[in-house]
Structure 1
C-alpha cells in the first residue's frame, strides 16, 4: 500500500504550533521506512528531526481518503541521499481518515467556554472539524486533560450565525508570543455539527484565497 516514492505529510504529535512537513519515502525495509529530509510546508526549508521525535504521518490513497499512522524517528542512514529512519506499524496499524477532516483554517471567531460552571468569552485562533485553538484570557483555568463545554459562533457566508455547542477536551496549553493559547479537541460531535464546521472552514478558505492570504 505504501511504496517508494509515496509522499508523506508529517505532523508532530505534541504540536503546539500546528506545524506540518512533507517528505518522500525513499526505501522500505523490515525495520521501517526511510524518508528524505522533511520540508516545512510554510517555510519550504528542510527540517531536522531528532531521534525519538513522535509524529503523525499520513498519505493519500485517493482524492478523499488518507491513511494515517503514528511513528517515531529511529535514526539516520547515509546512502545516495541522507535519509531518516522512521517506525512503520504495517498495514494493520493504518487508520483510514476522511481527507476533509484535516482542513484547519486560521479564524478568529467568538467562542464561549464553560469552566466549573462559569462561562468565559474568548476567540479561536484556528478551527477544524477535529478541534480548535483558543486564546486563553485572564481567569480561564484551562489545563491539559480538562473536559470543557463550548459554544462556537460560526459566521456563515449567507450572513447568518450558526451557534454550535460542543463538548471538548483540552490537549495542550502553551505560550505563543505574549499570549497563551490552548488546543481543544472536539468530542462527541453530531453529523450536523461536523458538517457545519466543515462548511465554515471551506467558506473561510475561499475567503482567504480571494484576499490572497492563502495559496
Structure 2
C-alpha cells in the first residue's frame, strides 16, 4: 500500500552520524508517478528548520495508515523539482519494500576496490575493500597490519565508474568490528567518522551503479 497525496512522511537520514540519524523530519507528499514520489522540503520536528537534501541522500521514511499503523520504506533523493513550491523527488519503493518494520541502513555492495590506509601511529598500507557503502566500508587486513576495534584511520578509496572515470574518495573512519577469517586474514569494518558530503555522494553513486549491474545479470 502506497501513501496518498498530502500524506505526511516522517523521515530520518542515513548519514553515518548517529546524532543526525536520530533527528526526525516531516514532509508531505505532493505528487507521485510510476517511478518517483515528490515531497515538500522536509522540516525538522520541534524547530521547523528546513532540511536541505542532496542528490543521492538516503533516507528511512514512514507514513501512517488507518489505526496509526506505521509503514516504513527506504529511499534516496533523485533530483529537485521546481513547482509552485520546491519539491524533492525521491525513488518510489516497490510495494513489497514497504514494511511494518523499520530497516535503516545504507545501501552496501560487495566490491574489491583499492584502499590506502594510514593509522595514527603512522602505519600505512594498501589493501582491497570487501564491501562499500554510503555509511562505511570493510577491507581486508593482514596479520602484520595491527588494526584494532576503536582505531581511527585516515583512508582514501579508488572508485571507478561505468563511464570510465575514476575518483579518489578520502575519509576518516572508525573500526567498529574486526572479523577473523579462516585464511589468517581478517576484515576491518569501518563506519565513516568524517567524510565530506560530496565525497559520500561519489560512493553512493558507485553503489547504485553496482546494484543496477547486479539486478541486470
Normalising by structure 2, report the TM-score: 0.51
CA shift at 1:60, angstroms? Answer: 5.0
Q: Does the alignment pair 1:104 with 2:105? A: no
**Off by >6 Å, runs of 4+ in structure 1:** none
- Pairing of 1:144-163 with structure 2 (within 5 A): 144-163=149-168
Partner residue, 1:21:
none
In 2, Cα distance between equivalents of 1:142 and 1:123: 15
CA distance 1:126–1:144, shift in 2 (3 Å): same
Which one of 163, 166, 170 corresponds to residue 165 of structure 1?
A: 170
Map Cα deviations across residues 93-150 of structure 1 (whole Å, 9 max, x no partner). xxx99x6x61011111110110222320001111111111110024211000011101
Query: What count of residue pairs does the alignment treat as equivalent?
Result: 123
CA shift at 1:196, angstroms? Answer: 0.5
SS of equivalent to 2:172: strand
In 1, Cα distance between equivalents of 2:74 and 2:148: 35
Partner residue, 2:196:
190
CA shift at 1:200, angstroms? Answer: 0.5
CA shift at 1:210, angstroms? Answer: 2.4
- Pairing of 1:36-185 with structure 2 (within 5 A): 61=62, 63-64=73-74, 102-115=106-119, 116-178=121-183, 179-185=185-191
In 2, Cα distance between equivalents of 1:156 and 1:137: 28
Unaligned runs of 5+ in 2: 1-59, 64-72, 77-101
SS of equivalent to 1:102: coil
Q: Which has the higher contact order (CA 8 A, sep 6+)?
A: 2
Unaligned runs of 5+ in 1: 1-58, 67-95
In 2, Cα distance between equivalents of 1:139 and 1:206: 37
CA shift at 1:157, angstroms? Answer: 1.2
Which one of 192, 206, 212 corresponds to residue 206 of structure 1?
A: 212
CA shift at 1:189, angstroms? Answer: 1.6
In 2, Cα distance between equivalents of 1:158 and 1:144: 36
CA distance 1:140–1:206, shift in 2 (3 Å): same
CA distance 1:65–1:209, shift in 2 (3 Å): closer
